[in-house]
């Protein structure tokens, strides 16, 4: 039982397949609609508004498929206050109709070009006809928030007398405030009342919750908040707000929320905003070091609901806001165990990438960790300084100052290009440590753009032993030097150890 909402049972009327499909450009095939309807019924919604039966043959086929699928949810269809629409709904096999009647003077006079009396008469006649055709009737006031509330109340009252089973209040253009909902909804609850909100001003969720508090017993919702213009009240937001903030058990299988959202997004072709509550990519993704550190200790510090409760997983991404806790966690997950000094250097390089305005991927982190950790382990060769000069009408030239086995070495070389010159001077300068051959050189941009992070992989050979090494930097020459020096160090260390083992 909910503390704030009392011991009441709320119902969920999903209109993803009707109002959601009215999102411009969205068009679902009957088979797509059936797939979504099955998922909606499975997650636990009470009513599925499957479409507008009068709209097209495809709509009627979809409604027929859904009505015949033996789903637990009621199969409903939108109808105008017209017998032809009701006939289409009945012939398609719907259980119920969402019978919509314009109720604001604006809609009555301008859109319908009728009087209140004429619209009232159409509504009563349509309700009676739908009942004659054996349909459950949800009598709905369109643009109810801008309507004369006495006229609306009269229409509802007379509609119930004509046989309407349920009522619906449509905030058609999203102008109802939560405060006003609490004033105008209570006198309208003369039969089970649904609230149907639009999100033009971002108030759909708040107004829906206020209407629940004020006496409405059902919420019209759409998955991912799809719908006309800025959409309808998002299903996932209502459910998780009720469950989390009001302690109300909705009966919805919340772990299936994310799979349902992705199914709808895929079939409608409408991606959700990355920061969309509950289902957006960023809803359970964290970069800030302080947040990640807090989350590792207790996830409630920075997550009001757990990702698992909606079928998702937490993601920690790295960037310039990262701290050592999140970098260490990412490295552990990737199989690295850096020492504190290495970790500090990796964090520094991760932040440097972030400072360049880029997202840091796992590949970036691995490349950085490989470079930092291998360099740290094998200090036989180190580069103190190098310079490369290249351009038009100039021979690419590289010069270097290195330390090899504790001795300073300087050198210069030319090459076919700046990378070639840099690698040649490295090979020459380490000659005192042995003849190290560069067998392969491979470069790849691992982030996009001209300022991409480049990943250089090299294969080096000495005394019959071959190793592969990598360097990752935004500067291709630095990445190449890093890959070669890292590899040389590893190769020399391994051969050294082998020699010592053989002697022992
Ligand atoms: C707020 C909402 O979401 S309302 C639902 C919106 N959904 C749709 O529009 C569903 C898809 N619509 C369609 O396929 C078509 O518009 C149809 C088949 C319903 C109607 O097509 P047409 O007959 O060509 O009419 P058209 O779309 O040009 O105009 C709508 C007609 O319905 C009338 N109408 C609108 N709402 C209602 C209503 N609730 N009850 C009765 N008549 C209505 C209008 O007055 C207009 O008729 P008129 O030209 O005689 O004044
Ligand atoms: C009927 C409907 O979808 C609306 O008034 O918004």
121 lines ligand 1 (CB under 6 A): no
Decide: helix, strand or coil at residue 451.
Answer: coil
Percentage of the chain lying above the pLDDT 90 cut: 72
142 lines ligand 2 (CB under 6 A): yes
In a domain, 2, yes or no: no
User: Do 382 and 360 fall into the same domain?
Assistant: no
Among candidate residues 312, 339, 371, the one where a domain is terminated: 371
**What is the number of domains present in the chain?**
3
Q: Which atom of ligand 1 is nearest to the CA of 102?
A: 39
Instruction: Tell me whether 0.85 is exceeded by the ipTM.
Output: yes
357: left (phi over 0), alpha (psi -120 to 50) or beta: left
CA distance linking residue 501 with residue 504, whole number of Å: 5
Over residues 44-52, the mean pLDDT reads 98
Distance 228 CA to ligand 2 centre (A): 9
Q: What backbone phi and psi angles, to 5 degrees, belong to 477?
A: -70, -45
- Predicted structure pTM score: 0.78
Among candidate residues 230, 259, 282, the one where a domain is terminated: 282
Over residues 39-65, the mean pLDDT reads 98
Specify whether the CB–CB gap between 243 and 254 falls below 8 A: yes
Distance 15 CA to ligand 2 centre (A): 10
Q: How far is CA 312 from CA 114, 241, 262, 269, 306, in A?
A: 51, 17, 11, 21, 8
Over residues 300-312, the mean pLDDT reads 97
User: Do 260 and 221 fall into the same domain?
Assistant: yes
Give the CATH number of the domain where residue 68 resides. 3.20.20.70
CA distance linking residue 257 with residue 338, whole number of Å: 38
User: Do 202 and 147 fall into the same domain?
Assistant: yes
Distance 98 CA to ligand 2 centre (A): 10
Per-residue model confidence (pLDDT) at position 259: 96
Distance 19 CA to ligand 2 centre (A): 7
Q: Looking at the predicted structure, is the pLDDT value of residue 255 above 80?
A: yes
Among candidate residues 324, 340, 371, the one where a domain is terminated: 371
Per-residue model confidence (pLDDT) at position 376: 57
Distance 79 CA to ligand 1 centre (A): 9
User: Do 366 and 383 fall into the same domain?
Assistant: no
15 lines ligand 1 (CB under 6 A): no
Per-residue model confidence (pLDDT) at position 3: 56
User: Do 23 and 70 fall into the same domain?
Assistant: yes
| Closest C-alpha among 215, 246, 217, 220 to residue 231 | 220
Grade residue 375 by pLDDT with cuts at 50, 70 and 90. Answer: low
| DSSP, res 272 | P
Q: Looking at the predicted structure, is the pLDDT value of residue 260 above 60?
A: yes
User: Do 79 and 137 fall into the same domain?
Assistant: yes
100 lines ligand 2 (CB under 6 A): yes
Longest dimension (CA), the chain: 107
User: Do 361 and 428 fall into the same domain?
Assistant: no
User: Do 366 and 470 fall into the same domain?
Assistant: no
User: Do 182 and 205 fall into the same domain?
Assistant: yes
471 lines ligand 1 (CB under 6 A): no
Q: What own/partner pairs with CB < 8 Å and gap ≥ 24 does 279-282 have? A: 279/224, 279/236, 279/310, 279/312
Helices 289-297 and 324-333, axial angle in degrees (round to 10):
60
82 lines ligand 1 (CB under 6 A): yes
User: Do 277 and 292 fall into the same domain?
Assistant: no
More confident residue, 374 or 131: 131
Over residues 240-255, the mean pLDDT reads 97
Domain coverage including residue 408 = 378-503
Distance 140 CA to ligand 1 centre (A): 15
């Amino acid at each position: 039982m909910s503390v704030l909402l009392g011991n009441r049972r709320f119902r969920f009327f999903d209109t993803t397949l009707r109002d959601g499909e009215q999102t411009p450009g969205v068009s679902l095939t009957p088979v797509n609609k059936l797939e979504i309807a099955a998922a909606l019924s499975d997650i636990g919604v009470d009513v599925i508004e499957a479409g507008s039966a009068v709209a097209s043959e495809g709509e009627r086929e979809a409604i027929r498929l859904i009505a015949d699928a033996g789903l637990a949810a009621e199969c409903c269809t939108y109808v105008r206050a017209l017998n032809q629409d009701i006939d289409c709904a009945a012939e398609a096999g719907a259980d119920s109709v969402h019978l919509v009647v314009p109720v604001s003077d604006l809609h009555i006079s301008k859109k319908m070009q009728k009087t209140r009396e004429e619209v009232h008469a159409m509504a009563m006649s349509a309700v009676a006809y739908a009942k004659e055709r054996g349909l459950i009737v949800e009598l709905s006031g369109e643009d109810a928030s801008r309507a004369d509330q006495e006229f609306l109340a009269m229409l509802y009252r007379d509609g119930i007398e004509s046989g309407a089973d349920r009522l619906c209040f449509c905030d058609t253009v999203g102008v109802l405030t939560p405060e006003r909902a609490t004033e105008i909804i209570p006198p309208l609850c003369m039969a089970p009342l649904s609230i149907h909100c639009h999100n033009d001003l971002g108030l759909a969720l708040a107004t829906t919750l206020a209407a629940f508090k004020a006496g409405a017993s059902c919420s019209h919702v759409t998955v991912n908040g799809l719908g006309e213009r800025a959409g309808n009240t998002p299903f996932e937001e209502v459910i998780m707000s009720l469950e989390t903030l009001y302690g109300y058990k909705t009966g919805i299988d919340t772990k299936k929320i994310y799979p349902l959202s992705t199914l709808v997004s895929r079939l409608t072709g409408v991606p959700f905003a990355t920061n969309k509550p509950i289902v957006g990519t960023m809803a359970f993704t964290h970069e800030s070091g302080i947040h990640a550190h807090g989350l590792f200790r207790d996830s409630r510090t920075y997550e009001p609901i757990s990702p698992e409760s909606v079928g998702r997983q937490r993601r920690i991404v790295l960037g310039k806001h990262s701290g050592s806790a999140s970098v260490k966690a990412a490295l552990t997950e990737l199989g690295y165990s850096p020492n504190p000094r290495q970790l500090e250097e990796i964090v520094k390089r991760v932040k440097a990438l972030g400072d360049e305005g880029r997202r840091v991927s796992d590949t970036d982190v691995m490349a950085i960790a490989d470079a930092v950790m291998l360099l740290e382990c094998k200090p036989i060769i180190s580069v103190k300084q190098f310079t490369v000069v290249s351009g038009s009408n100039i021979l690419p030239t590289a010069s270097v100052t290195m330390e090899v086995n504790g001795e300073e070495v300087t050198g210069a070389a030319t090459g076919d290009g700046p990378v070639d010159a840099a690698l040649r001077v490295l090979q020459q300068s380490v000659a005192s440590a042995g003849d190290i051959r560069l067998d392969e050189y491979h470069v790849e941009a691992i982030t996009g753009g001209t300022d991409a992070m480049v990943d250089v992989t090299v294969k080096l050979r000495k005394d019959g032993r071959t190793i592969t090494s990598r360097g990752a930097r935004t500067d291709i020459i630095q990445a190449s030097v890093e890959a070669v020096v890292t590899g040389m160090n590893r190769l020399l260390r391994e051969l050294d150890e082998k020699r010592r083992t053989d002697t022992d």
